[in-house]
Amino acid sequence: MTQYQALIIGFGKAGKTLAATLAKMGWRVAIIEQSASMFGGTCINIGCIPTKTLVHDAEREGDFSVAMQRKAAVVNFLRDKNFHNLADLDNVDVIEGRAEFIDNHTLRVFQADGERVLRGEKIFINTGAESVIPAITGLTTTAGVFDSTGLLSLSQRPARLGILGGGYIGLEFASMFANFGTKVTIFEAAPQFLPREDRDIAQAITRILQEKGVELILNANVQAVSSKEGAVQVETPEGAHLVDALLVASGRKPATAGLQLQNAGVAVNERGGIIVDDYLRTTAENIWAMGDVTGGLQFTYISLDDFRIVRDGLLGDGKRSTRDRQNVPYSVFMTPPLSRVGLTEEQARASGATVQVVTLPVAAIPRARVMNDTRGVLKAVVDVNTQRIVGVSLLCVDSHEMINIVKTVMDADLPYTVLRDQIFTHPTMSESLNDLFSLIK
């Protein structure tokens, strides 16, 4: 049995950053990852980095096969870099294998050449999330059906792509493959597309998708999936649809199966997410959980902030907690990207606040004309009484950069007039925030 001060299960953003930090403080650390192909975590290998690389090339009408090769090169470079960032440290052991708890201090790790037992004073779980696979006949046995990881491994572009699920993952893939020239059909079971967004924003996104040739089918009750004529047949009560590949984009769930958490006294919720307090401590006093495995917001930057909270608890004054998070922005890298922070108009009005809502068409922004992409709309919700920004939705080129400016102003509790009167460079998309907030009267 090998003894460590810290055992970290999972090579994700929080886990790898914590491992490096503790090692530099002199701790003896082991980080366990079940596959060498996932060194560096979901973001680098099967999430943010490969998808955004492909989005970039698709927007420039690049060749699909060439784009996939470039994606692989980017991923391989970053994976190797992340591996050596830890493996080259004298007091860090990177272990490839599947871990399970024996008790709250002990792990059994199953490796290709056998088992080993590790004991740690403190244990940190950072195993991420995995795809949800709906119980649809033929979905797991039909050739040509992929989750997002599998779809990112294709070498040839499918002429027709079906997407099961119209959420943010499905939206991003739909836009990307349509830009590559694929005919895309989205099968969304709900009667409403993007229910978390305001209806005007969702409608604007729908128009953009339709202009790309994407077909959106709502109330799509997919009953079965099968092979037919070398393609994938998607069966609904209204008829069958043939596609060359089917992406299952029905969401993701915490990856806790097989960890034997009960042996360590670590409790989970009904979705399998590890229950943690505001300091990311589990129900076992020496075990923490970070990132997607807790069932919270599934963003790399949340995982990074989880690391900061745990680091502060171990090495700092212990005051930092999840309660400190104020306005968490997000971006969906469709083309053009959708970014939002704070409340929607509907949420703001439901809260009882007195708000003013303004919108600015992207076509009115000079920089958008320069970049030849005038699709989309900017929307702001401001509290009339406090002059504070309640929420902003940006559907436009470069929105993923602009939204961070808005978040900073909101976190600083500054009035909307700061953005209305700010001096920005010209011509830029950021300066459109002057125009948007000038509409507030």
Claim to verify: residue 37 and residue 94 sit in the same structural domain: yes
391 in a known ligand binding site? no
213 in a known ligand binding site? no
Claim to verify: residue 236 and residue 272 sit in the same structural domain: no
Q: What sign results for the dihedral spanned by CA atoms 193, 194, 197, 200?
A: negative
Claim to verify: residue 22 and residue 159 sit in the same structural domain: no
Claim to verify: residue 6 and residue 93 sit in the same structural domain: yes
Whether 231 is in a domain gets the answer yes
411 in a known ligand binding site? no
Say if strands 224-228 and 355-361 run parallel, antiparallel, or are unpaired.
unpaired
167 in a known ligand binding site? yes
Which of 271, 297, 324 marks a domain boundary?
324
Which residue has 């305001």 as its token pair?
198
- CA 147, CA 268: separation in Å to the nearest integer? 25
Whether 136 is in a domain gets the answer no
CATH number of the domain at 425, please: 3.30.390.30
314 in a known ligand binding site? no
Whether 140 is in a domain gets the answer no
Whether 169 is in a domain gets the answer yes
Which of 230, 248, 266 marks a domain boundary?
248
Which of 198, 225, 248 marks a domain boundary?
248
- Identify whether 400 is a catalytic site residue: no
Claim to verify: residue 303 and residue 242 sit in the same structural domain: no
Q: What sign results for the dihedral spanned by CA atoms 384, 385, 389, 392?
A: negative
**61 close to 157: Cβ distance less than 8 angstroms:** no
Residue among 84, 105, 241, 426 flagged as catalytic: 426
Number of domains in the chain: 3
User: What are the φ/ψ torsions at residue 161 (nearest 5 degrees)?
Assistant: -120, 125
170 in a known ligand binding site? yes
Whether 225 is in a domain gets the answer yes
Claim to verify: residue 11 and residue 120 sit in the same structural domain: yes
Claim to verify: residue 266 and residue 297 sit in the same structural domain: yes
Q: What is the pTM of this model?
A: 0.95
- CA 125, CA 283: separation in Å to the nearest integer? 13
Q: How many residues does the chain have?
A: 441
Whether 429 is in a domain gets the answer yes
Claim to verify: residue 349 and residue 317 sit in the same structural domain: no
Look at residues 310, 308, 282, 304 and name the one whose alpha carbon lies nearest to residue 294.
282
Claim to verify: residue 417 and residue 382 sit in the same structural domain: yes
pLDDT digits (tens), the chain, 441 positions: 899 999 999 999 999 999 999 999 999 999 999 999 999 999 999 999 999 999 999 999 889 999 999 999 999 999 999 999 999 999 999 999 999 999 999 999 999 999 999 999 999 999 999 999 999 999 999 999 999 999 999 999 999 999 999 999 999 999 999 999 999 999 999 999 999 999 999 999 999 999 999 999 999 999 999 999 899 999 999 899 999 999 999 999 999 999 999 999 999 999 999 999 999 999 999 999 999 999 999 999 999 999 999 999 999 999 999 999 999 999 999 999 999 999 999 999 999 999 999 999 999 999 999 999 999 999 999 999 999 999 999 999 999 999 999 999 999 999 999 999 999 999 999 999 999 999 999
Look at residues 257, 224, 228, 254 and name the one whose alpha carbon lies nearest to residue 243.
228
Claim to verify: residue 101 and residue 208 sit in the same structural domain: no
Claim to verify: residue 238 and residue 259 sit in the same structural domain: no
Claim to verify: residue 352 and residue 257 sit in the same structural domain: no
292 in a known ligand binding site? yes
Show the domain range for 176: 145-248
